[in-house]
Amino acid sequence: MSELRQDPTTYDWVIIAKERAKRPWEFRKENMTRPYFPAHSDSCPFCPGNEHRTPEAKAVYGGPGEWKTRVVPNKFAALTTDVTAEREEIGPFRKSPGYGSHEVVIETPRHDNFIPFMDDSDVGGIIRVYRDRYHALKKDPAVRTVIILKNHGRGAGTSLEHPHSQVVASPIVPPSVRRRYEIAVQYYDNTGRCLYCDIRDYELRTSERTIAETEYFIVLHPYASRYPFETWLMPKVHNSSFGNISDDEVADLAATLKQVLLKLYVSLENPDYNMVIHTAPVDDEHKAYFLWHIQIIPRLSLPAGFELGSGIYINHALPEETAEYIRGFEVPNGETA
């Protein structure tokens, strides 16, 4: 028997296909041998020595001679600041030049140093760079939203294997983001509480879908997961914007994120995944009704016509089972796989 579950943050429904469900370990890639990546690649534009192959850096951390993290404009930016953000109506349509910023965070000089194998402090450094760029980009008065994301692996939409993430600043609040706020505001107006904090606290109490709890974060597989092994990292301290993350939270998040990605790497054999930081629009950084959080989506399933047509996703994994499976993977802090 399948089960329809509603995501209270979007009102979207998900079909959890219990009977067609795969067991968690069946999502491991078949016959996978872990790929070999060299520590340095002459042909990689993100490797040291090839700095001239990227646009000029917006920020360099760790010193230009021996940098640890570089932030560069995306060579193929989807949005740029050399146009206006004005909107224009044309027949029944509306358009605007693609105003905004699109930056790449080169996370490490090492071609093969993925987050699961980094020192906690280096992961913390990347998160601080995210926070820096968030604050740098929001200074632009036209910017309404800053989206921080990471695509890992070809199946997640990246063509460059060198560890990197992206920071996008846009003058538009996307309707899907606006909708989440409308729902959260309604919940807040009805109950006086933050919907996301209520979800987090319910998950902590029932602990069926939680993976980890640290001083500042909890990690869980959401009740209405659209994707197998979809994972959320939620702060314990209410805060609508990632931009407000404290240094203590950064240090905790670094260790937690590393553990989560290491567990995914080990349990599913280096799956392709997308990671997104959901945060309030820059005008709403101190709201009581939204909680910033991180969503990780391993690319283990393929949305088909039903998903594209109805917006209802069919998930062939039970989040309670995948959470239990991940909890069972003990990986020592500092494993280098």
In degrees and rounded to multiples of 5, residue 9 shows phi and psi of -90, -15
Active site residue 293: no
Q: Which C-beta is closer to a second copy: that of 177 or that of 234?
A: 177
Instruction: Report in angstroms how near the CB of residue 299 gets to a second copy at its nearest.
Output: 9
Instruction: Report in angstroms how near the CB of residue 63 gets to a second copy at its nearest.
Output: 29
Instruction: Report in angstroms how near the CB of residue 272 gets to a second copy at its nearest.
Output: 10
Instruction: Report in angstroms how near the CB of residue 207 gets to a second copy at its nearest.
Output: 12
> How far is the C-alpha of 323 from the C-alpha of 212, rounded, in Å?
10
| Alpha-carbon torsion (58, 63, 69, 74), positive or negative | positive
Q: Which C-beta is closer to a second copy: that of 48 or that of 243?
A: 243
Instruction: Report in angstroms how near the CB of residue 226 gets to a second copy at its nearest.
Output: 9
| CB contact at 8 A, 51 and 58 | no
How many Cα atoms occupy the beta-carbon half-sphere of 26 within 13 Å?
10
How big is the CA angle at 12 (ends 260 and 277), to the nearest 5 degrees?
A: 35
Q: Which C-beta is closer to a second copy: that of 121 or that of 310?
A: 310
Selection from 233, 208, 209, 206 nearest residue 221 by Cα: 209
Instruction: Report in angstroms how near the CB of residue 20 gets to a second copy at its nearest.
Output: 5
Q: Which of 102, 162, 164, 293 is catalytic?
A: 164
> How far is the C-alpha of 213 from the C-alpha of 227, rounded, in Å?
22
Selection from 193, 153, 154 nearest residue 291 by Cα: 193
Torsion of CA 10, 13, 18, 21, to 10 degrees: -70
In degrees and rounded to multiples of 5, residue 132 shows phi and psi of -55, -50
Axis-axis angle for helices 195-206, 175-191 (nearest 10):
80
Amino acid at position 31, single letter? N
How many Cα atoms occupy the beta-carbon half-sphere of 170 within 13 Å?
19
Q: Which C-beta is closer to a second copy: that of 145 or that of 251?
A: 145
Q: Enter the tokens of residue 231.
A: 């994972």
- CB neighbourhood size of 119 (10 A): 12
Active centre residues (catalytic): 164
